Amino acid sequence: MRLSQVFIVVTFSATILFSQEESEEPSDSLYFQFAPDSLYLEVGDSAVVTIRLLKNEGESANSPFYIHGGERGTVSVYPRISDSTGVANVLVKVYRPGDLSLNVRSISTKRLDRVSDKMPVTVPYPPLARIEFDQSTTQLYEGTSVQFIAKVFDEAGLTRNETDLTFVTTNSSIAEFDDFGNLNAKSTGRVRVTAQVDNVTSSINVRVVKNPVRGMELSSSSGEVRTGDVVHFNAKALARGSREVEDAPIYYSYTGIADYGIGLPAAGQMSQDGRFVAETSGLYTIYASSGGYSAQKTIKVVPREVTRKVELVGYGLVPDVFTSDLWIWPGIGKHEGKDFAVTGTWGADGNTYFWDVTDPKNMITIDTVKVDARTVNDVKISEDGTVGVITREGASNRKNGFVILDVSDPYNVDILSTFNDDMTGGVHNTFVYDNHVYAVNNGRKYDIINIEDPSNPHRVGVYELKTPGHSIHDVWIVDGIAYSSNWADGVHAVDVGGIAYNERNMPMIQANPLLARAGKGSPSNPTPISYKNDPTGRNHAAFPFLSESTGEFYIIAGDESFPFGLGATKKEPSNPRGGFHFVNFTDPDNPEEVAIYQVPEAGSHNLWVKGDTLMAAFYQGGFRILDISGELMGDLYKQGREIAFFLSSNKEGHLPNAPMVWGTQPYKGLIYFADMNSGLYAIRLVSIDAKKETD
């Protein structure tokens, strides 16, 4: 089917081109004034800074603004948003040493009118205090090695990762360190191992004893697998009489011959607990060694072969504005049997569009709701199909928040109420669950609003982290657990009650280990269960799923980065980056990142999991579908797990010929997704022989 056959051009009234409106007002009419104009503080100290937002004439702007620390986790501020006078007395506390900053940004209707500034905060490095070894290795076998790791702490109790830590021994003929902290045991005897940085030292005694190992044994869970399948190897170090030496260190490695190319390498990943996964097909030999003895085993890896075709079913063009998120739902009452969609708009004029997608080949807009906002970033529909929630950012009167809609008749949507209390900075994302709206408020918390009477919403709870410089981007709720995405603070799982015990949710309830800890939380008492920090500081989205094939429970943590800026503000294509991190939460006390899905030179955004399939919005990389069956380990993109991708390029889009996929939702055998630059899509996976799939 040709794209031109399914384009539906939609004309919206009262639409003003984004680029024209953004350039109407100058962006330099305001500036910030700090008193004092810099700070010098010790770790843990605090001070008060008076910040004013002024006009060029020196008059108060009488406009609120954001206050935050520079690098997350370094500086906390209170308050984090000023009042409407444009003046704030800010309590600043520092938690880390270095050249830090206190940052401010005005709140404006238009993005290009934002004014930012920062004030230097200098925090000297405290003197180093102690070194602690991470392991208690006191005995090594001759001919083996072990990596020593130690942590350096300063007088403030902070870990100092930037220090130049060295290891030495008292007798290098017995045991000697290499440049990477590995202690190589050469001959029997005793040595003293010392870790040193500056004038701080720490030492332990180590004994090298005769190595009893006289052989190795190696077995595997499989001899032939596909790329992406994890093979478990079990190695045993054996003494005389085939007795196992259980405490002997074992080292795994591999070599491979690829099925393709001339001289190209076979690629895979080998963990030191005996797990191996291949990225390319071929023959691989796995080696296990200890004390000069080794064993090997060869396995065959074949292509995964999960590729399928994608058929474009239908398309609704949005040519005049940027499109944001989407939601699809079935009609109720007199509209039972029909299917509907809603899409938001970004950096535009506050419109939300409602679609009849009953015939996905011929999507039509059926109603428009306009609110005071520049961006309607998020759209959600209640599970019973009666209530809709749309977010607001960039309101002309700065009364941002969200709007509650009656969507029981999608052809005639009514506004029931608005909620903007303490939401001056805007609501970016929401989730509707069990008669409550979970609203990400001012980028620092989520408020919980009761909408049992949608005409009279009221706040019943708040969840906010206590870490310095914390912030939040999104929240998603399944079975009474809220999964929030908190940038550097990563994914947090919070018990908010209301677990729905029904047939659809029963597998998750039986297998989700986080639910075993639930029961104390409620919308008015959100209770933390587990979390996993994000070392990249870019955690932007989260989606929980139970692997149908393994029973393992994961949270996929998506990250987002715009290293080259946000092109949409200049009506140019953007070039973001990011990927999806698979964190195994089967043990909530020790969540572990085990795999990543990252498309080179593309940026990740929102996602959805159905069964063992990931549906992923990859911005300029288009819409992607990934096989996530089986045990997950390593780089999923390189393992040939991609089932299909679709580039939503359109010469008639708001930005022509530029895919920018925002979000997705599977629905009735189809996959819907929103493209920021061109609108709403419906696609279908088909088999290689073009037989349509209806499941």
User: pLDDT per residue over 474-530, tens digit each?
Assistant: 999 998 999 999 999 999 999 999 665 444 445 555 678 898 888 889 999 999 999
Q: Read off the amino acid at residue 1.
A: M
Give pLDDT, residue 647.
96
Instruction: Look at residue 34 in the predicted model and tell me its pLDDT.
Output: 97
- Report the distance separating Cα 484 and Cα 542, nearest Å: 7
- Which amino acid belongs to residue 73? G
Query: What single DSSP character describes residue 672?
Result: E
Instruction: Show the beta-strand stretches assigned E in 357-473.
Output: 364-370, 379-381, 387-392, 401-406, 414-419, 427-433, 436-441, 445-450, 458-463
Dmax (CA) for the chain in angstroms is: 91
Task: Report the candidate in 206, 145, 200, 220 with the shortest Cα–Cα distance to residue 171.
Answer: 206
Query: Tokens for 165?
Result: 């830590």
Query: Which CATH code, of 3.40.50.10860, 2.70.180.20, 2.60.40.1080, 3.20.20.140, is assigned to 145-209?
Result: 2.60.40.1080
Distance CA 257, CA 673 (A): 40
Contact between residue 560 and residue 538 where contact means Cβ atoms under 8 Å apart: yes
Fold identical between 145-209 and 215-302? yes
Determine the straight-line distance between the first and last CA of the chain, rounded to whole angstroms. 21
Instruction: Give residue 431's pLDDT.
Output: 97
Amino acid at residue number 31 = Y
Q: Which amino acid, one-letter code, is at 262?
A: I
> What pLDDT score was predicted for residue 598?
96
The β-bridge relationship of strands 46-55 and 116-123 is unpaired
Please list the rounded mean pLDDT of every run of 10 residues in the chain (695 residues).
Answer: 33 29 48 96 96 90 90 90 91 95 89 89 96 88 93 95 93 95 95 95 96 96 96 97 94 92 82 97 96 95 95 96 97 97 95 98 97 96 97 89 97 97 91 96 93 98 93 94 96 85 52 85 96 93 94 95 87 92 96 97 96 96 98 97 96 94 97 97 83 44
Thinking of the domain 29-123, which architecture would CATH place it in?
Answer: Sandwich (2.60)
Q: Tell me which architecture the domain covering 215-302 has in CATH.
A: Sandwich (2.60)
Please give the single-letter amino acid code of residue 443: G
Model pLDDT, residue 150: 94
Domain parsing of the chain, residue ranges: 29-123, 145-209, 215-302
Q: What's the pLDDT score for residue 27?
A: 45
In terms of residues, how long is the chain? Answer: 695
Which pLDDT score, from 0 to 100, does residue 517 have?
86
Give residue 458's pLDDT. Answer: 98
- Mode of pairing for the β-strands spanning 39-40 and 116-123: parallel
Kind and range of the H or E run holding 202: strand 200-209
